[in-house]
Structure 1
């Protein structure tokens, strides 16, 4: 994936940065922890502007976050809960889980949006409870923008600072994102197995 990302950035410049960050927010396995530092590396080689790269990456990331927010608002929490009642078993999600996340978001709100925009694996997901909670679009936009710009600027700065050594350290930098995704998958498997065992242990009613 590293080589593919590098090729996109070399061929399409800032437009490629924005496109990859948009895709990253819709399809998280493409990690921003690789995209933006590679863009920073390009800046260190004099092939791009730091400001332009950060703006492009932030716009792409912001657009992806807004897509999930808009979709969640359109679907609504109750419609999702109804669907989960019928199909949520394989996702290991229940109506109680949705209500629990909703209560958590009510307590943290803007701070959750701002903070989670800088946490791998949660950057995309935080838009969903924000949409379900009908968070004001302007408020969501402001805190998402702040968190997004801070994250893209930080990752770009890392690539710029590492300079020529970045190609040797790109792998370790992506471990955090890959680790979070692997952890989320492991939690899903654990919940699925536990749920299955619970169903088997329930006494049958005749």
Structure 2
């Protein structure tokens, strides 16, 4: 991670408080290299120091994240998948995306439907781009918002609470999140497969 990002995030949060949390989480959704895995644990650390309150910090994070999800949703709605993949290959390196990421996210959505928006919000690397296939596949805005809010709320609450518990070691959240994320991803896929199998069995019955 670039040093300027790790220095800039605390500065914005210190100067703008809850508004800074929302702004940072909004930008994190537009530019994936800005990590929520550092933003919200740092907010939790600020709570532990008595600078902020936990619930408003979580709400601020949720608001910023959901607002940051809408631009990607509408891009997916207005731009074809083929064109998105071309743009990702040409310019995606600036935000850490490529055509394969776009294709995988669309396959994920096609396989698991609306549930992928909820569960995708819990997995780093998928959290941001899951908004694109939702738009490409014309998922209703209300459904998109509700499914997103469910997953976002869990993710933001987890990160902020972890930062609060770890105190000045909040940066360890990002360090240990990788292995945990893999377990979460495997669990999510297993749950979605189970839901699909149950649905197919009910149809046959």
Superposition CA RMSD, Å: 2.8
**Map of 2:174 onto structure 1:** 174
Q: 1:131 to 1:174 in 2, by over 3 A?
A: same
Measured in 1, the distance between the counterparts of 2:177 and 2:71 equals 21
Secondary structure of 2:22's counterpart equals helix
**Map of 1:199 onto structure 2:** none
**Map of 2:39 onto structure 1:** 35
Report how many residues are paired: 169
Give TM-score scaled by structure 2 length.
Answer: 0.72
Q: Max radius of gyration: which structure?
A: 1
Secondary structure of 1:37's counterpart equals helix
Q: 1:47 to 1:108 in 2, by over 3 A?
A: same
- What is the CA-CA distance between 1:102 and the residue it aligns to? 3.8
User: 1:10-39, CA deviations, whole angstroms, 9 ceiling, x for partnerless residues?
Assistant: 111000000000110111111001000110
User: 1:36-66, CA deviations, whole angstroms, 9 ceiling, x for partnerless residues?
Assistant: 0110111111111111111111111111111
Give TM-score scaled by structure 1 length.
Answer: 0.72
Greater RCO, CA 8 A, separation 6+: 1
- Say whether the 8 Å CA contact 1:33–1:174 is kept in structure 2: yes
Measured in 2, the distance between the counterparts of 1:107 and 1:3 equals 40
- What is the CA-CA distance between 1:122 and the residue it aligns to? 1.0
**Map of 2:78 onto structure 1:** 74
**Which residue, out of 122, 133, 138, partners 1:129?**
133
**Map of 1:54 onto structure 2:** 58
**Which residue, out of 141, 146, 150, partners 1:146?**
150
- Say whether the 8 Å CA contact 2:159–2:173 is kept in structure 1: no
Gaps of 5+ in 2: 180-205
Q: Does 1:117 align with 2:124?
A: no
- What is the CA-CA distance between 1:7 and the residue it aligns to? 1.5
Gaps of 5+ in 1: 180-206
More moved, 118-127 vs 103-112? 103-112
Measured in 2, the distance between the counterparts of 1:93 and 1:4 equals 30
